[in-house]
């Protein structure tokens, strides 16, 4: 399993944009505390309001952070991709988790307990600044998401979500000019605040126009420029 040996974990730390700023001695100390956890697709990683006592680095896969209402309606707050951090809010303030986290695909996560990570954070203001930057970027996305839900038509929300997800994941696995996204239409509906039926209707229309191709839990963007025009 990736990252299961001491040296593999050390390389992960050294290559990470934030953790790589630590000295070799400090990286060696943290590696002793770090562990790798595996979560199969659809398994819960942590629940909303549970203790925020660990920080995760996504080594492989994608994680969905969401919130579910009492009547079972889900809204996706964020999608965390490979190389990104998860659970930073609870680690920083010691409070509970702000959402539910589920593995969208099979995931490998590097895990650091808060009690082991905070002493290093206190000694390295540059890492604090990078965490602040990450939080600000995610807050901007959340603010933008709220504005879109209120002001933007569902067609524009779907187009915008597809473009943003493809850019953030960095995926272009089919061929030149084609972007591949592994997510279900229900998940896309939860991201844009709409029903699966509405999403399916729009995607089917775009498929007939040659803008996208759809399959089970797969959306291929054929004409990104045309989606840009709808945003």
pLDDT tens sequence across 206-227: 999 999 999 888 899 999 999 9
DSSP of 110-136: EEEEHHHHHHHHHH-HHHHHHHHHHHH
Task: Outline where 152-221 has alpha helix (H).
Answer: 154-169, 185-192, 196-208
Q: Which residues contact 214 (CB under 8 A, 6 or more apart)?
A: 185, 203, 204, 207, 220
Most confident range, picked from 88-102, 114-128, 141-155: 88-102
Instruction: Please report the pLDDT score of residue 174 as a whole number.
Output: 44
Instruction: Please report the pLDDT score of residue 199 as a whole number.
Output: 95
∠ CA 67-164-66, rounded to 5°? 5
Instruction: Please report the pLDDT score of residue 31 as a whole number.
Output: 81
Residue in the structure block whose two tokens are 């889900």: 74
Instruction: Please report the pLDDT score of residue 170 as a whole number.
Output: 56
Which band of pLDDT confidence, cut at 50, 70 and 90, is reported for residue 1? very low
Query: Taking the alpha carbons of 9, 11, 17, 20 in that order, is the dihedral positive or negative?
Result: positive
Average pLDDT score over residue span 87-101: 94
Instruction: Please report the pLDDT score of residue 73 as a whole number.
Output: 86
Which band of pLDDT confidence, cut at 50, 70 and 90, is reported for residue 4? low
**Residue 18 pLDDT more than 90?**
no
Whether 56 and 16 have beta carbons less than 8 Å apart is answered as no
For residues 44 and 35, the model is more confident at 44
**Residue 195 pLDDT more than 60?**
yes
**Residue 2 pLDDT more than 90?**
no
Which band of pLDDT confidence, cut at 50, 70 and 90, is reported for residue 30? confident
**pLDDT (tens digit per residue) in 154-186:** 999 999 999 988 887 655 444 556 788 888 899
CA distances 27 to 12, 16, 148, 197, Å, are 10, 11, 41, 49
């Amino acid at each position: 399993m990736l990252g299961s040996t001491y040296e593999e974990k050390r390389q992960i730390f050294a290559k990470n944009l934030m953790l790589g700023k630590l000295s070799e001695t400090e990286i060696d100390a943290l590696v002793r505390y770090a562990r790798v956890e595996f979560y199969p697709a659809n398994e819960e990683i942590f629940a909303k309001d549970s203790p925020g006592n660990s920080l995760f680095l996504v080594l492989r896969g994608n994680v969905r952070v969401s919130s579910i209402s009492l009547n079972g309606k889900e809204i996706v707050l964020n999608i965390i991709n490979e190389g990104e951090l998860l659970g930073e809010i609870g680690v920083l303030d010691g409070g509970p988790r702000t959402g539910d986290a589920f593995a969208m695909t099979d995931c490998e996560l590097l895990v650091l307990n808060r009690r082991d990570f905070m002493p290093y954070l206190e000694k390295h203001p540059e890492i604090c600044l990078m965490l602040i930057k990450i939080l600000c970027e995610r807050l901007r996305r959340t603010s933008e998401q709220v504005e879109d839900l209120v002001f933007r038509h569902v067609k524009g929300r779907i187009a915008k979500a597809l473009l943003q997800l493809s850019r953030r994941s960095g995926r272009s696995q089919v061929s030149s000019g084609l972007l591949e996204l592994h997510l279900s239409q229900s998940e896309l509906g939860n991201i844009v605040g709409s029903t699966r039926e509405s999403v399916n209707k729009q995607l089917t229309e775009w498929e007939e126009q040659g803008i996208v191709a759809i399959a089970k839990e797969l959306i291929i963007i054929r004409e990104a420029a045309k989606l840009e025009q709808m945003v």
